[in-house]
Amino acid sequence: MLKPAILYKEELEKKFAEELYTDRYFMFSGYPYDNVPHEIKAVHDSFSLASVEDGRVVGYIAYSVNPMLNEASNFGLYAFEPWNATFMKDIKDEMRKILRRYRRIEWRMVGGNPIERAYDSFCERHGGHKHTLHDATRDIDGNYRDTIIYEIVK
């Protein structure tokens, strides 16, 4: 079940701090030297949600909206328990809501992220486009990685 992330601020920030130096956190932030835990705060024109199962946080979803352009962007998804069924359902439900509400949706991903096939499928199913920026970022070991941009415009 999705709840406002601010209600779980301390737990979320601790969970992000535990993930700081992992490849999974790099996939989330897109920058290998992002050595500050993700901060949970209420921000104008943004949604920040905790996926909660049996009282524990299993995932995090955040995105920004631009009411003037009727778009949602700057997505951040993080599974503290990868492939957790509750989190997957929460993502699906929230994305349905976003697709109904907004005319344009855009998100980015670091190449090599294991979720890429699911993103490709979702984007294709909704008539979207996938753009690849080649060698657009580097991981902590100095390997160049692509940046993938997805967009869906109704």
Rounded Cα gap, residues 28 and 11, in angstroms: 18
Which residues of the chain fall below pLDDT 50? Answer: none
Rounded Cα gap, residues 17 and 141, in angstroms: 21
CATH number at residue 57: 3.40.630.30
Q: What is the reported pLDDT for 54? A: 96
Rounded Cα gap, residues 51 and 25, in angstroms: 18
Instruction: From 124, 62, 122, 56, select the one nearest 92 (Cα to Cα).
Output: 122
- Give the count of domains, the chain: 1
pLDDT tens for each residue of 130-153: 999 999 999 999 999 999 999 999
Q: Residue 150: exposed, middle, or buried by beta-carbon count in 10 A (0-12, 13-18, 19+)? A: buried
Using left for φ > 0, alpha for ψ between -120 and 50, and beta otherwise, residue 51 falls in beta
Q: What is the reported pLDDT for 35? A: 86
**How far, in Å, are 31, 53, 90, 151 from residue 2 at the CA level?**
27, 9, 6, 24
Q: What is the reported pLDDT for 5? A: 97
Q: What is the reported pLDDT for 34? A: 87
- Residue 92 belongs to what H/E stretch? helix 85-101
Domain that holds residue 33: 2-153
Q: What is the reported pLDDT for 36? A: 84
